[in-house]
Amino acid sequence: MAAQGLWSRDFALFFVARAVAALGDAMLPVALAAGLLQHGYGAGAVGLAMASTVGSFATLVIFGGVLADRFDTRRLMIGADLVRLATQALAAALFFTGQVVLWQICVIGAVNGVAGAVFQPGVAGTVPRLAADVQGANGAIGTAEAGAQLLGPALAGLLVAFTSPGGVFAAHAATYGLGALCLLSLRLPPLPRRGGPAGRAVAAFLADLAEGWREFRSRAWMWGVIVIWCLMMVAAWGPTVPLVAAEVIGEHGAGTYGLVNSAFGAGTVIGGLVAFRLRPRRMLRAGGVAIAAFACFPAAVGAGLDVPGMAAGAVIGGAGRAFWAVMWATSVQTQVPVGVLNRIHAYEVAGSLAMVPVGQSLAGPAADAFGADHVLLAAGAATLAVSAALLSVPAIRNLPRADGPALRGGTALQAPDGRAHRKGPER
């Protein structure tokens, strides 16, 4: 697809909204870890604070998917951003004043998770409505998010050093405000809405929820990935985030932790650029191979490598994770009809993240029992097991490429560049 076809005014606005949100999200772990550690809390508290957001998000995102298919997606996303602007501003005030209590931070995180559950389902449905080249759009957004991952931790480290963790939360709140402004200016192609009579609203909502579940479970490649991904979340990603933070900050300080996270971001930039250009015929097979590289990140920290060694592991790990993310997002957005895409995306997000709070909550106790270094090495081994499991399932490794709704028969949707998108039959 030509660059001018991808870079329409509306896609550019959506791109900026996703990029600034990613910048804030990349800054948050540094602020949360450094702030709680400064106030006398340990790795377990950091894990609980992170789990509060992920837990509420994973619990409620399937309901957000139904809302996204029934109501104005753009308005839901703007409202969610405004809620998170308020909560992060409150968190900034708490850290600036030194009145930091763990349960309050967890409540703020849980509210953020609820807002994210309303916001996230609309992302999947918005991309194919704005761009005919779905992989190109995902690659561009993924590269921008990777760049944010590169810059965010370093910026957060500077803000923590020269102000306080509250400065990072204030900046995070500002990113949600800018994202809401971009979405407010966005014009999405209309889709038929599924609203029904007010008296049957609950029944219709439950029927939509059930339809989304049927569509989800009818795709063996999708639920197969989610089942395997639960292992990734519990044994690899969940414990990696809080334990890497605690280990690196404890040994080298917040500045080094920001550097290591920036190295991870550099890797995701590389992975996103590769995914933007490479067009494998079996996208999930290629992604399954790439995700094995993530093992280098926790393993490098767990092995006690020096700072350059940890940074190198983070670069490799970030590249593998970013490439997988584009392959997976594009597969979902091109294999699923638009009318149920938000709900199916909500189910797959809920399934893939449901075990993150478990992994994060268990990170502290596991580190106390076995040592943080051994838990991180185990996380690397679990990542390799996940890669092998993905490649062992025929429905996953043999899923054929779909180049997007425009190449399938069905009801045409008009893209912003004037081209027809087509909603097609299920593969």
Per-residue pLDDT of 365-399, as tens digits, reads 888 888 888 999 999 999 999 999 999 999 999 99
Distance CA 195, CA 42 (A): 47
User: What is the secondary structure of 15-50 as a DSSP string?
Assistant: HHHHHHHHHHHHHHHHHHHHHHHHTT--HHHHHHHH
What is the residue extent of each domain of the chain?
Answer: 7-188+210-399
At residue 200, the pLDDT reads: 61
At residue 411, the pLDDT reads: 33
Average pLDDT of the segment spanning 325-336: 85
At residue 403, the pLDDT reads: 65
**HSE-up of 359 (CA within 13 Å, CB side)?**
26
Highest mean pLDDT among 130-134, 201-205, 313-317: 313-317
**Is 70 exceeded by the pLDDT of residue 421?**
no
Average pLDDT of the segment spanning 239-264: 82
> For residue 288, how far is the Cα from the chain centroid?
18
Q: Are 287 and 327 in contact (CB under 8 A)?
A: yes
**3-class DSSP state for residue 414?**
strand
For 111-129, write each residue's pLDDT tens digit: 998 998 888 877 777 887 7
Average pLDDT of the segment spanning 177-182: 91
Q: What φ, ψ does residue 187 adopt, rounded to 5°?
A: -115, 110
For 23-72, write each residue's pLDDT tens digit: 888 888 888 888 888 877 877 788 788 878 877 887 788 777 777 777 77
Distance CA 157, CA 168 (A): 9
At residue 218, the pLDDT reads: 82
At residue 417, the pLDDT reads: 31
Distance CA 375, CA 107 (A): 28
Average pLDDT of the segment spanning 255-282: 84
Question: Could you tell me which residue, 153 or 12, shows the higher pLDDT?
Answer: 12
At residue 423, the pLDDT reads: 34
Distance CA 209, CA 215 (A): 10
Average pLDDT of the segment spanning 196-204: 58
**Is 80 exceeded by the pLDDT of residue 153?**
no
Distance CA 272, CA 268 (A): 6
For 77-94, write each residue's pLDDT tens digit: 899 999 999 999 999 899
Question: Could you tell me which residue, 80 or 416, shows the higher pLDDT?
Answer: 80
Distance CA 106, CA 144 (A): 29
Name the superfamily (CATH) of residues 7-188+210-399: MFS general substrate transporter like domains (1.20.1250.20)
Q: Are 296 and 309 in contact (CB under 8 A)?
A: no
**Is 70 exceeded by the pLDDT of residue 328?**
yes
Distances (CA, A) of 279 to 134, 136, 221, 389: 12, 10, 19, 23
What confidence category does residue 425 fall into, taking pLDDT thresholds of 50, 70 and 90? very low
Q: Cα angle vertex 245, ends 242, 251, to 5°?
A: 135
Least confident of 12-21, 177-186, 255-264: 255-264
% pLDDT > 70, the chain:
88
pTM: 0.68
For the chain, how many residues are written? 427
Q: Are 338 and 191 in contact (CB under 8 A)?
A: yes
**Is 90 exceeded by the pLDDT of residue 107?**
yes
**3-class DSSP state for residue 286?**
helix
What confidence category does residue 415 fall into, taking pLDDT thresholds of 50, 70 and 90? very low
Relative orientation angle of helices 307-335 and 220-232, to the nearest 10 degrees: 160
Q: How many helices (H) and strands (E) does the chain have?
A: 18, 2
User: What is the secondary structure of 301-333 as a DSSP string?
Assistant: HHTT--HHHHHHHHHHHHHHHHHHHHHHHHHHH
Least confident of 110-119, 204-213, 279-288: 204-213
Average pLDDT of the segment spanning 275-304: 91
